[in-house]
Amino acid sequence: MVRILGKALKLPGLVRPQVFDSELRSTRLTSQLGIALGVAFMICFFTGVISHLIQHPPGWFSWPSRPAGLYRLTQGLHVVTGLAFVPLLGAKLWSVYPRLFQWPPLRSIGHAIERASIAVLVAAALFQVVGGVLNISRWYGALPYFFTTGHYWVAWLTVGALLTHIGVKLPLVRDALARSDAIADKGGLSRRGFLATVASAGAVITVATVGQTVSPLARVSVLAPRRPTVGPQRLPVNKTAAGAAVAGQALDPSYRLVVAGPEREVRLSVTDLRALPQHTVILPIACVEGWSANGTWTGVRLRDLADLVGAHPQAASAEIESLEQRGRYRRSHVPSSHLADALTLIALELNGAVLHLDHGYPARLIAPNRPGVLQTKWISRISIRNGS
Ligand SMILES: Nc1nc2c(c(=O)[nH]1)N[C@H]1C(S)=C(S)[C@@H](COP(=O)(O)O)O[C@H]1N2
Ligand SMILES: [Mo]
């Protein structure tokens, strides 16, 4: 039966397992790839959870405003380790796939559970990698689910299946790594050569994409979806004013920024904002999609506005609302740690000129150590209250 099926499907492995004759496949190789994958996964998982917590902070969580570039680093690592999965996962699946054809497929209940956990792990890991790559390529339409929600929950599924898998395989891995390199050199690619090839593939993918956040590498990063210096005022744009349908209101001379606080509410025109003390800071936009770029921003300190409306500049928080009517990123919360920071500005200028309409004219938030999604553009209202 198996043989007939094997022949019909042209899967020689079902008929003669020995056709998988690569000398390279060994428990040792699989273990080493597994360790590399495990390390990459853990970095990717923790940086991803951090990004999620910053965007949806539960009561117990607080994220500092310094170091100013920390989020840029954690999110850069998230995308770099996620992309490193592509060659690592490919190599690991290659190193074990003949076992898919082992017969009988299920030997015992324990074996069935182990197989099921591997099936979940492989499916979840592929789901994460494919979804992540589509997201950073800005091909949102290809994803049938809202990316961050799906990516977050499947990450927990992946970690669960991974821990089960590690638990089951640990003795095997220990054994394989303790034994000395037994495979004799029979010419062809050695195990070390294979690992070096996989590592080079990872390095090529990294170099080809990391330029979206490490600007000196932008020119060689041919696969990077963004170049950090390309865009109006030499900075990429995430959503344009046209896309957010705000151009009319943003350019209207009757525009007023409403700042509401515990003691009073003020309505500031662009001229009023410019008359307040101006400060200049260098801060990055660090998009969750992995690109990031520094800008030189000039504007009013948020904590000065808190002072203006009678809130405590060192112990107040703010709700920022955009002129944008729809869209997930039309509002954001600024916790007290960030509001008190002198680097947090309501920016009016970028790189030496009035803020471009697509960068949030007339006024946008720029704060240290914060994901791009929280750097609200085209601000219409700021509500400040004492407390966090
Ligand atoms: N109102 C509003 N603000 C927004 C967004 C948005 O869609 N609407 N996108 C955010 C995202 S995801 C990023 S990465 C930054 C990008 O800022 P930039 O376009 O000036 O580079 O703006 C943020 N501010
Ligand atoms: Mo973003």
User: What was the pLDDT predicted at 91?
Assistant: 95
Q: Which of 54, 323, 329 to mutate to test the pocket of ligand 1 (most atoms within 8 A of CB)?
A: 329
Q: Where in the chain is the domain with CATH 3.90.420.10?
A: 234-386
Compute, in degrees rounded to 10, the torsion defined by CA atoms 126, 81, 77, 157: 40
Ligand nearest to the CA of 356: 1
**Which pLDDT value is given to residue 74?**
97
Buried b (16+ CB within 10 A) or exposed e, 26-39: bbbbbbbbbebbbe
- In a 13 Å sphere around the CA of 142, the CA atoms on its Cβ side amount to 11
Question: Any idea what DSSP says for residue 98?
Answer: G
Which ligand neighbours the alpha carbon of 284 most closely? 1
Rounded to 5°, angle at Cα 325 from 321 and 331: 25
Ligand 1 touching residue 237 (CB < 6 A): yes
Answer whether 375 contacts ligand 1 (Cβ < 6 A): yes
Strands 331-334 and 316-322: antiparallel
**Ligand 1 atom at minimum distance from 235 CA:** 21
Per-residue pLDDT of the chain (388 residues; tens, 9 = 90+): 555 655 666 555 454 555 666 778 889 999 999 999 999 999 999 999 999 999 999 999 999 999 999 999 999 999 999 999 999 999 999 999 888 787 888 888 888 888 888 999 999 999 999 999 999 988 888 888 899 999 999 999 999 999 999 998 999 999 999 886 555 556 678 889 999 999 999 999 999 999 998 988 888 888 888 888 899 999 999 999 999 999 999 999 999 999 999 999 999 999 999 999 999 999 999 999 889 999 999 999 999 999 999 999 999 999 999 999 999 999 999 999 999 999 999 999 999 999 999 999 999 999 999 999 999 999 999 999 999 8
pLDDT recorded at residue 290: 85
Question: Is the CB–ligand 1 distance for residue 356 below 6 Å?
Answer: no
For 356, which DSSP code? P
Binding site membership of 377 for ligand 1 (Cβ less than 6 Å): yes
* Beta carbon of 85 within 6 Å of any ligand 1 atom: no
Q: Counting ligands in written order, which one lies closest to the CA of residue 294?
A: 1
Rounded to the nearest angstrom, the distance between the alpha carbon of 333 and the centre of ligand 1 is 14
Structure tokens at 369: 């150590």
Cβ of residue 285 lying under 6 Å from some atom of ligand 1? yes
**What's the pLDDT at 11?**
58
pTM for the complete prediction?
A: 0.91
Q: Which of 52, 22, 375 is nearest to 193 (CA)?
A: 22
- Closest C-alpha among 230, 229, 232 to residue 357: 232
Ligand 1 mutation pick, 377, 378, 379, 381, max ligand atoms within 8 A of CB: 377
Nearest to 302 by CA among 290, 311, 292, 293: 311
Which fold, 234-386? Sulfite Oxidase; Chain A, domain 2 (3.90.420)
Any atom of ligand 1 within 6 Å of the Cβ of 239:
yes
Picking from 289, 284, 283, 273, the residue whose alpha carbon sits closest to that of residue 239 is 289
Ligand 1 pocket, 228 CB below 6 A? Answer: no
